[in-house]
Amino acid sequence: MKRIIIAGTHSGCGKTTITCAVLAALKARGMNVTAFKCGPDYIDPMFHREVIGVPSYNLDSFFCDDDTLKYLLNEHAQNSDIAVIEGVMGFYDGADGRGSAYSLSQITDTPVIIVIDCRGMSDSIGAVMRGFLGYKCPNNIVGFIFDRLSERLIPLAKKLCEELGTQYFGFFPRTDITIESRHLGLVTASEIEDIKQKLLQLGKFAEKSICLDDITGISAPELTGYKAPVFPEVPAKAPVVAVAKDSSFCFIYDDNIEILRKLGCVIKYFSPLEDSKFPDDADGLYLCGGYPELYAERLSANTDMLDSLREKISGGLPTIAECGGFMYLHDIFTDMDGNGYGGVGVIRGKAFSTDRLQRFGYITLTAEKDDLLCKAGGKFRAHEFHYFDSTDCGRDMTARKSDGREWRCVHTNSTLYAGFPHLYFYSDINTAGRFVSACINYKVKNEQNK
């Protein structure tokens, strides 16, 4: 399998734009491409999906062991001409040696192209290159793409690559194509009216200025010798899991959905924004994160949906509600301006906006009691990324960061997980197994009561 990581010197250096440009150009050439994102980001894969028209997956070495990473990369990209993996933050940035693009490249033996933002630099570009090439050895850096490089400096960039024994993979010009940002990163792809045209234009830039033939000519060793994950056994009952999916709830990992399907679930998407009520035949609920604060008035006005959700959850419907989904379950949740709106009312209290990130980053959760996802003392990995907070974040789990900081969080019981931390089921597939088993029990109980 051909594969490449497009990493960067730092966040905001242009790697998302260049990754999308390369994907668009390769697709225009008729190639079968699979996209990936290193780390826990939700928004960048949305842009990948808009470019190639198929799902984009996450590869996260904090969440997953080495075997699982290799399994996921091979599972999703085995029939592709090439896999293009976008890095996260700066190439070497991660948590305790895990979670970085560098870590992923070492584990999967994947070649790396580094994007350098050359704005305001000339000869100093060489210092940046030398630093990245020599900071940790061995590494899999095979060359560089020079973003926002003046055309008059192209000869310098090529000379620097030759002197440092690395490869020139082209440059990307300054353009007036912009993708706006907001408080959690980029504006989502579905919100940009002319996204298709923008991505098409980016692909044309890539075809002209990036050395695509050299990129597609990069070879990498086959991924072999890894152990595939073991999926828990659950009864063959095909529970229906309703998954929120619309403009307000859009942060969900495709791999989480695929695991639920592999465990026998039927996935039914619904919209808390547009649908009049929650699906009657659902045996479980997955309320993912997103931007409920941007649609607070409309979500609150959909009282039939609120009422049906409150009734179902209070009646024991197995429910996972993470971050934005957790906010939505409160008595009151606010928009970005602090205006309060009525929520589902399962969580007593108020979710409110703040002016900075709250408890950002990777964490390990430990259950304080038996609950929907694990037994008392059980641990699994998660992450937080939100500007909102709550008057009652819960106390049923203990979150711990790698630097030793810890705090209590999350509301849990035998049928509920509700809190700010986002879940990735491949960090512990048994959590998904327990959720599915609870959905099956709910289904059987309802059938017996009919």
Residues annotated as catalytic (active site), given as ranges: 323
Q: Are 133 and 101 in contact (CB under 8 A)?
A: no
Tokens representing residue 87 in the block: 């890095």
Would you tell me the crossing angle of helices 66-77 and 101-108 to the nearest 10 degrees? 80
Please give the span between the terminal C-alpha atoms of the chain, in angstroms, as a whole number.
52
Q: Do 66 and 107 touch, CB atoms closer than 8 A?
A: yes
Three-state SS at 166: coil
Residue 138: asked if its preceding bond is cis (omega within 30°), the reply is yes
d(CA 203, CA 205): 5
CB 327 within 8 A of CB 368: no
The H-or-E segment that residue 290 falls in is: strand 289-290
Residues 6+ positions from 308 with CB-CB distance below 8 Å: 277, 278
Of 151, 133, 134, whose CA–CA distance to 143 is shortest?
A: 133
Question: Could you tell me if 51 and 27 are in contact, meaning their C-beta atoms sit under 8 angstroms apart?
Answer: yes
Distance (Å, whole) CA 414 – CA 435: 9
Place of tokens 């907001």: 182
Give the residue carrying structure tokens 């990069």.
218
Distance from C-alpha of 65 to C-alpha of 72, rounded to nearest angstrom: 11
